[in-house]
Amino acid sequence: MAGEPGIIQLGPDNRPIVPDQVIIPFIEGDGVGPDIWKASVAVFDAAVKKAYRGKRAVHWMEVLAGDKGHARTGQWLPAETLESFKKYRVGIKGPLGTPIGGGIRSLNVAIRQKLDLYACIRPVKYIPGVPSPLREPEKVNMIVFRENVEDLYAGIEWPANTPEAVKVVEFLRKEMGQQVRMDSAIGIKPMSPFNSKRLIRMAIRWALDRQYPSVTLVHKGNILKFTEGAFRDWGYELAREEFPSQTIRESELPPDGNAGGKVVIKDRITDAMFQQILLRPDEYSVLAMPNLNGDYMSDALAAEVGGLGMAPGANIGDGLAVFEATHGTAPKYAGKDAINPGSVILSGVLMFDYLGWKEVSGMIQTALQKTIQDKIVTYDLARQLKGAIEVKCSEFGRAIIENME
């Protein structure tokens, strides 16, 4: 409701207008979720308090999903949870397990699709001191924009030899003249200009707002011409039509490569791009890609900068955003106060940046970096770092708070 206290309003281009006393719904998450959330929220509150001395505050509002949702309401994803995210416009969540036998493919996918959070954003920036398999990890500073609601993830598929699969196979053989084995399983890969373009539009705006030098369209269009190849073509079309004076196509750059302050739009084939992120990461900044490519690429990139425990994420739609840990519920560590809370803490950094509370995002980022440089880390980084002081999840959070200036 307009003007209700604590609620974010929307400005031009759906940018959030944030009240000083803001209400933010959170899902604690399953498995390691409670451990991680406890450590993370303490870090968030300490940073807000330190940055604004009471002038601004976050009022956290728990909403239910996953095991806790099921235990308390009988539902894995209660409708009120989705309504709260819609009403308050920004939320944050821990990992959610996939209920077995509940007829639900994935709660995370359901949240993204039901709230139309069409862009999954994963920043991948090296934090000095974090163990990395790369020789020059400081060259890694990319952000993945992954299309979030269609492609093979639309979930349109049928097992082999079921009446549905047989019907589709017969249609393909008889009506479309395709050679498909009768005993095939079938999955459908829908990709539309509408969903591709709004994702690419958000990626280009992000690059322009934050002065990133390029946006790379990552696709498998050499083989999948009318889906992934079209993604590339729609991207170039959109840049030409909507950002003609602010972007330039790589092929149109002058011989000296000077883009004249414009964002360079380029494209790479997915398999080649997996090499590029290892060998020449500094040539890339914003990456926009279809759903499945984005899934693989984000985890590969996370491995370059400390692994899943250090990988933040956000799912963003028009004026609605849910920030989340990239990893799952890591059940073997549940309740052990051992896991790395870095993924949710860095998702919080992304969230405060999105809210425009840059003092908070900067303070947490700096304190986290200092803690890691002091070699105070959880088990996952300790096993890769010589001379590390291994601490628990909660202790890592406390060390970050102590390092805030």
State the residues that interact with ligand NAP by CB under 6 A: 95-98, 108, 308-309, 324, 327-332, 339-340, 343, 380
Catalytic residue, candidates 220, 262, 266, 370: 220
Q: How far is the CB of 173 from ligand NAP (least distance, A)?
A: 35
Query: Among this protein's residues, is 220 annotated catalytic?
Result: yes
Let me know: does 290 contact 154? Beta carbons within 8 Å: no
Handedness of CA 297, 191, 209, 404 (dihedral sign): negative
Q: Is the CB of 128 or the CB of 331 nearer to ligand NAP? A: 331
Point out the residue whose Cβ comes nearest to ligand NAP: 328
Query: Among this protein's residues, is 295 annotated catalytic?
Result: yes
Q: Is the CB of 246 or the CB of 394 nearer to ligand NAP? A: 394
Residue 377, φ and ψ in degrees, nearest 5: -145, 160
Query: Among this protein's residues, is 318 annotated catalytic?
Result: no
Catalytic residue, candidates 88, 118, 126, 153: 153
Q: Is the CB of 267 or the CB of 324 nearer to ligand NAP? A: 324
Query: Among this protein's residues, is 332 annotated catalytic?
Result: no
Q: How far is the CB of 382 from ligand NAP (least distance, A)?
A: 11
Q: How far is the CB of 247 from ligand NAP (least distance, A)?
A: 32
Half-sphere exposure of 240 (CA within 13 A, CB side): 10
Which residue, among 263, 266, 261, 206, has the nearest Cα to 236 in the 3D structure? Answer: 266
Q: Is the CB of 221 or the CB of 348 nearer to ligand NAP? A: 348
- The answer for residues whose C-beta is within 8 angstroms of residue 283's C-beta and 6 or more apart is 276
CA 248 centroid distance within chain: 26
Q: How far is the CB of 379 from ligand NAP (least distance, A)?
A: 7
| Cα–Cα distance measured from residue 287 to residue 214, given in angstroms and rounded to the nearest whole number | 8
Catalytic residue, candidates 271, 296, 332, 336: 271
Compute the 3-state secondary structure of the chain and give helix, strand, coil in percent, each to the nearest 5. Answer: 45, 20, 40
Q: Is the CB of 97 or the CB of 221 nearer to ligand NAP? A: 97
Let me know: does 149 contact 328? Beta carbons within 8 Å: no
Q: How far is the CB of 29 from ligand NAP (least distance, A)?
A: 7
| Cα–Cα distance measured from residue 160 to residue 295, given in angstroms and rounded to the nearest whole number | 25
Which residues are part of the catalytic machinery? 153, 220, 271, 295
